[in-house]
């Protein structure tokens, strides 16, 4: 999830934030991620409005071709890992701002 070596205080911070999420919300998010398929909804979104998909570097070989094949209306950007917005906030915000400025 994190590409850089974390110091103990950073790990403690991330675990603390994660630990604040109530278990019933964690369970629902996990089940939703594992058992749901939002492909048709994502297709409708990409067909009706500008859309941006961030893809983690470790998934780019699978995810980028999939998004390009199934969600042709989406802009894609590959960077970082699962917590790219946390680890690379300036880059993430720049990409998002550039996308929004094109609208």
Query: What is the average pLDDT across 3-17?
Result: 94
Question: Does residue 58 form part of some domain?
Answer: yes
Question: Does residue 73 form part of some domain?
Answer: yes
State residue 70's pLDDT score.
97
Count of the separate structural domains present in the chain = 1
Question: Does residue 1 form part of some domain?
Answer: no
pLDDT grade for 1, boundaries at 50, 70 and 90: confident
Question: Does residue 2 form part of some domain?
Answer: no
pLDDT digits (tens, 9 = 90+) for 15-73: 999 999 999 999 999 999 999 999 999 999 999 999 999 999 999 999 999 999 999 99
CA torsion sign, 98 to 100 to 101 to 103?
Answer: positive
Query: What is the average pLDDT across 67-95?
Result: 96
Q: Which domain holds residue 90?
A: 8-101
Query: What is the average pLDDT across 79-97?
Result: 96
What would the two tokens of residue 67 be? 């998004």
Question: Does residue 3 form part of some domain?
Answer: no
């Amino acid at each position: 999830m994190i590409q850089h070596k974390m110091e103990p205080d950073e790990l403690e911070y991330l675990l603390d934030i994660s630990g604040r999420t109530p278990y019933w919300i964690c369970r629902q998010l996990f089940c939703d991620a594992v058992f749901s398929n939002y492909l048709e909804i994502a297709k409708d979104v990409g067909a009706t409005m500008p859309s941006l998909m961030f893809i983690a570097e470790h998934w780019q070989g699978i995810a980028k071709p999939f998004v390009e094949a199934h969600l042709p209306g989406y802009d894609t950007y590959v960077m970082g890992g699962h917590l790219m917005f946390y680890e690379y906030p300036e880059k993430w915000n720049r990409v998002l701002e550039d996308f929004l400025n094109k609208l």
